[in-house]
Homo-oligomer: A and B are copies of this chain.
């Protein structure tokens, strides 16, 4: 990745994430653990919004895709067949002086732990020859800790889908083209630094295998490239910071007829946000051969069995959430101050509406609580705040991306009208409380990036 921006933006985002409860360092009180993060109250809601949007748009809103949730620890034969046991590795070198280990192909990104101004090898430490280091986490299942009990934490969710191809086909009476999708944790024992939650050892994947008649492969590849690119734009990502990059022939897996990445321009350079890969019939054929189970579709019209080709859109929920955070982040100069605001799409924002009593008396808190309850019943995520001046409360909500702040004042108690303040324009509007949930849902539905 090329460096295109100064680092401070990432530092500001990391700091905001900790201060406001989006992302904390995992095991922080014990000094942490490398490349691992925990998600706080707002972070977990952001992840939920991203997962819900993906599941809705990739699975439930479609007739041709169903969901799956397969186990993290599968029979180790799976990873032998998929090629991960033999081939899912990075070349590593050790420093003979300080014993530190580095990726042989990323030495220019690494620093000598004892002389941090130098790259490994340039510090006069001698490096070993590169050796291959498997990225799968290994464990033992059952009572014995021997080679017969070795198992792996899955490095991708995709194989769980191929394993269940025949079961899903038979239970769901589907015919190609159709997809099987899943969201779930995968694990990779990454050695390289991760740019906050961009690359972490455990991460939540969102993958879909779309099974098509081989002749329709190219059409569906184009379809899913477009569909996945557009998804990010629909959810408010700046299209000027997105691009589609087709892999060069030498980057492709040997079985792939084409792979493209949706890339985003991060503060640390362009990086992969999601990949769309043509996997052909490679995986189903390998698993059929290794297991002896037929993994095919029988077409009742042509009376022929065939192995479908596969188009795979695959992204990471954590990376998507980070991208939404970075893309939404603004510092805006107002008359007397700078405001920090996250201009999230309202359907991604952890809190849809914050509800404030103007002052903490005269029945305003009670009325505000009633209004908050009504919004919750309408399915909105809300937050009640009665502390500090109203302007300060607005700023606190801007900083976490809440699109609407609702204020209950003295007039509300007589005329039933509340003030709705818009995060982006900072304009205020008077809306009858009885119409509030419908009004807000319509505003969420019709929101456009400014």
Contact = CB atoms under 8 A, between A and B. Distances in A.
Interface of A: 18-21, 24, 26-34, 36-45, 47-48, 55, 60-61, 63, 66-75, 77-78, 92, 101, 133, 137-144, 151, 153, 160, 163-164, 166-168, 171-173, 180, 182, 185, 187, 189, 191, 201-202, 287, 290-291, 293, 295, 376, 379, 381, 384, 387
B163 A38 contact: yes
Contacts of A38: 68-71, 160, 163-164
B172 A21 contact: yes
Given A164-B40, A167-B24, A47 B61 contact: no
B67 A45 contact: yes
A21 B133 contact: no
A138 B141 contact: no
Q: Which residue, A55, A67, A185, A187, has most C-beta atoms of chain B within 10 A?
A: A67
A313 B295 CA distance: 43
Contact of A47 (B20, B69, B180): B69
B40 A75 contact: no
Q: Which secondary structure characterizes the binding site on chain A?
A: mixed
Contact of A376 (B60, B160, B201): B60
Contacts of A69: 38-39, 43-44, 47
B60 A141 contact: no
Nearest to A160: B38
A75 to B, nearest CB: 4
Contacts of A141: 33-34, 137, 189, 201
19 contacts: A26-B74, A26-B163, A29-B163, A29-B293, A29-B295, A32-B75, A36-B71, A38-B69, A38-B163, A39-B70, A40-B164, A41-B67, A41-B180, A43-B69, A45-B67, A63-B384, A101-B143, A141-B189, A379-B379
A39 to B, nearest CB: 4
A441 to B, nearest CB: 11
Each complex incorporates copies of this chain amounting to: 2
A201 B19 contact: no
A187 B92 CA distance: 30
Contacts of A293: 29
Nearest to A182: B44
A75 B27 contact: yes
Contact of A29 (B68, B71, B166): B166
Contacts of A30: 74-75, 77-78, 163, 290-291
Contacts of A24: 164, 167
Contact of A171 (B37, B40, B55, B164): B40
Nearest to A65: B41
A18 B133 contact: no
A39 B24 CA distance: 31
A379 B347 CA distance: 14
Contacts of A60: 376, 381
Contacts of A77: 27, 30
Contacts of A66: 21, 40-41
Given A40-B68, A69-B39, A164-B38, A74 B28 contact: no
Given A27-B75, A38-B160, A61-B376, 14 more contacts: A21-B167, A28-B163, A30-B78, A40-B168, A41-B68, A42-B171, A48-B67, A72-B187, A101-B142, A138-B139, A139-B139, A142-B191, A143-B191, A379-B379
